[in-house]
Amino acid sequence: MEASVNPQGLTVLVVDDEPLALSQMKWLLAAEPQAGEVFTAADARSAEQVLQQRRIDVVLLDIHMPGMSGLALARRLRDLPAVEPQAEAGPQVVFVTADAHPAVEAFELEARDYLLKPVRGERLAEALRRAAAARETAAQDRPEPVRVAVLQGDSTVLVNLQDIRWVQAHGDYARLHTQAGTYLLRTPLAELAEAWEEHGFIRTHRSSLVNLIHVQRVTRRQGRMLIEVPGAELEVSRRLMPQVRERLETGR
């Protein structure tokens, strides 16, 4: 991972297996006022690592690369969020390629634009304008986050509901697990399971509740079901398996 820094503008990730193409795109972006911080990756796997660590506004993505193709990476970005779930919209994808044939599939994947190599500066500027406009529209249409007030010492902390990865029963309390830490809420788990169901939480066990958008992997072995969220692997009770399976399949 490599970055060049400008103080303003969109955060851009350039993904291309050709070093010369990466250098040329960095040169174009350095002269483009809409571009801010610029990261590069030589393949899709490296790009995923950047996306997991950084908030990226626009991905300039080559299509034909060794291993995972650009189309496959765009599909993963659409179907499986690569970054920690958050209120902001995901990255806008702009394909940059010498091949015009995959254009139809690219736009089926909701690509913001499709640039043919060699890329001209004015065409790149147009693509960034489209990406910025789409991101602004998504931000305006986004509902206000639902927050819950929890006590932390002598203070009250407001936690975004969608930042909660999973919830653990703790007597008459519930322990909320987030990336920032854990918090105690004076509400029994059963009440939260009912109240938060519409917000994407799944009751997986009498002692646990999982936020669907944070589920990374589901493992089934020897009649057991395990759900992995960042920092924890949680067993699903046999009684709740059918409900959990249905919720995961429908994505709601």
DSSP string covering 201-236: EEEEETTEEEEGGG--EEEEETTEEEEEETTEEEEE
Q: Which residues in the chain come in under a pLDDT of 50?
A: 1-4, 80-87
In this predicted structure, what is the pLDDT of residue 121? 93
In this predicted structure, what is the pLDDT of residue 82? 40
In this predicted structure, what is the pLDDT of residue 79? 58
The predicted-structure confidence for 68-125, as pLDDT tens digits, reads as follows 998 889 888 875 444 444 435 578 999 998 887 766 666 667 788 889 899 999 999 9
Is the pTM higher than 0.75? The answer reads no
In this predicted structure, what is the pLDDT of residue 8? 65
Q: How many residues does the chain have?
A: 252
In this predicted structure, what is the pLDDT of residue 13? 96
Cβ-Cβ contacts under 8 Å for 74 (sequence gap 6 or more): 59, 61, 93, 95, 106, 109, 111
Cβ-Cβ contacts under 8 Å for 87 (sequence gap 6 or more): 142, 145, 160, 162
